[in-house]
Structure 1
Amino acid sequence: MRDRLAGLSPRRRVFVLTVGALALLLVGAVAGRVLIARSSGADAVAQDRPGPVLLVPGYGAGTGGLRVLAARLRSAGREAVVVEMPGDGTGDLREQARVLDRRVSEALRGGAPSVDVVAHSAGGVVARLWVREHDGAGKARRIVTLGSPHQGADLAAAGSALAPGACPEACRQLVPGSGLLRELGDRAPDPPRWVSVWTDDDETVRPEASRLPGATGVGVQEVCPDARVGHTGLPADPLVTAIVTRALDAGPPSPPGRGDCGAPRG
């Protein structure tokens, strides 16, 4: 490049260098606009064209409650599928995120514009890993987590300390402050749009640990103060179904208020 410039007249060199500088400034401005759009919450996929709902089980891979929720979503007109995790769901959460990505890829190859993800318990951490490591932001429209240990689970910490041999890989990854949780950070990535649901009656994950900054937060008892639902009961609870259905609507996610308590139970 230097040899080419040397062969030009002084005026021509000034012209070429000026054009080059302007090109660099233009590239920088475009990149800056992209970064600003991403940081300001611009959606990567269309919000008015919901695709199928993929339901992700938690630690232990129990799917009974999620199947009830999937049936209710199908009755409401949505395509809903429960993702089966390998083994008993206690292995590497990153491998579970890869399984989720394969199911997402199948849906997109089938013509879906995007997917919605509803994840119970540790499945919410799997969903966050999927977004981080498999470009989930460009594939998901909404992600709803139910009783997920976003800040870790005290039970996992106790198991790891008291009975290390009985605490498999997923258990160790869910210990508060684990390397995996530190990598994920303490905020929901944006996009996609996130909704985090928790219950004060959770006997497995502290409600505070289910809160995810950057997500729309919904405490079950904030909607219905007299609601009684534990950790395992979240996916099949009728009130939670109503919260999830609202979160997956075409409009922006918004937390229901106490005035919405009667309708879901009706």
Structure 2
Amino acid sequence: MLARLQQILTLGALTGVVIWLWVCLQQGRPGWALFGALALLGGHAFVLGIEFLLLAAVHGADPTPRARAAQLLGAWWGEVLHAPRVFCWRQPFRHAAYPDHLPTNAQGRRGVLLVHGYVCNRGLWNRWLQRLRQQGVPVVAVTMEPPFGSIDAGVAAIEAGMRRLEACTGLAPVIVGHSMGGLALRRWWAEHGDDARVHHAVTIGTPHQGTWLARWGTTPNAREMRRHSPWLAALASHEPAGRHRRFTCFYSHCDNIVFPAATATLPGADNRHLPGVAHVHMVDHPAPWQAVQALLQAPKAR
């Protein structure tokens, strides 16, 4: 569903650029042709710029060090380049390019479950899927549908992915969630609360304590990610004491979606700050990948 929507939006934008260029060049206006094409293709840069201005403005008393202007500018540019790769290529056209890897000889080898975030699908994880497959690591990447429903709707997809990994490996997997995916995995874990089923959870830019930006969201899952939302309070009330020690949370003072920055941390978790990295770009930052590699190489309990 989401892939089809993003296909339509991407192809529609490209069609608009071609029509604009043709009309302007027919009228002998090359300057307008160039300006319009850049506006259509680079309009997301303007939207991202607003997000970065907002995150700088609402930093307030957040304990995370305030990002310098150069860091914000670098993170903005990184996101300008990275976002189209994800939302206009990987997710709409390449979401099935790397299937789940469940080899028949994987018993006793720890697997990985990948959970995407808001307005995303499994194509977000293409680089991870490719590299994990090359390493022979059993891996499943879920797609949670519907894309604009409650976060609770993702529980079934996570449970199905977990069962496939458990049957394949016989071991509890590492679960990695980006953005809203971290909340979905917490919701799944609260409902299917056997701690033995999860080796460790890694979240990347997850609004564990909500995000200021969600106040503008109107979909059910966006409203659930607002600061101090009833959904977040209910989730926290269903988690046992000590659960957060099983989490590694990556967050950034340049996260243009989840801010103030410390809202992406959990008390008692291994919270790791990634300076100067924006929200989507964090998925391909080497630090989360290296953390998961270390977890996969850790000795297995008897």
Q: Is the pair's TM-score, using the shorter chain for normalization, greater than 0.5?
A: yes
1:149 positional shift: 0.2
Partner of 2:196: 138
Partner of 2:150: 92
Q: Matched residue pairs, number?
A: 190
* Paired letter, 1:91: G
Question: What CA distance in whole angstroms lies between the structure 1 residues aligned with 2:130 and 2:240?
Answer: 28
1:247 positional shift: 4.4
* Paired letter, 1:210: A
Cα gap change, 1:188 to 1:250, in 2 (>3 Å) = farther
Question: What CA distance in whole angstroms lies between the structure 2 residues aligned with 1:153 and 1:210?
Answer: 8
Question: What CA distance in whole angstroms lies between the structure 1 residues aligned with 2:130 and 2:233?
Answer: 35
1:179 is the counterpart of 2:227: no
Partner of 1:238: 286
* Paired letter, 1:200: H
The 5 A counterparts of 1:1-266 are: 51-88=110-147, 90-159=148-217, 167-185=218-236, 190-191=242-243, 193-206=246-259, 207-221=261-275, 228-250=276-298
The answer to whether the 8 A contact 1:52-1:112 is kept is no
**Higher alpha-carbon Rg:** 1
1:178 positional shift: 1.3
**If the length of structure 2 is used for normalisation, what is the TM-score?**
0.57
3-state SS of paired residue (1:200): coil
**If the length of structure 1 is used for normalisation, what is the TM-score?**
0.64
- Percent identity over the alignment is 27
1:54 positional shift: 0.6
Question: What CA distance in whole angstroms lies between the structure 1 residues aligned with 2:194 and 2:282?
Answer: 24
Mind listing any 5+ residue stretches in structure 2 that lack a counterpart? 1-107
Mind listing any 5+ residue stretches in structure 1 that lack a counterpart? 1-48, 160-166, 222-227, 253-266
1:204 positional shift: 0.4
Cα gap change, 1:157 to 1:197, in 2 (>3 Å) = same
The answer to whether the 8 A contact 2:251-2:272 is kept is yes
Question: What CA distance in whole angstroms lies between the structure 2 residues aligned with 1:73 and 1:229?
Answer: 23
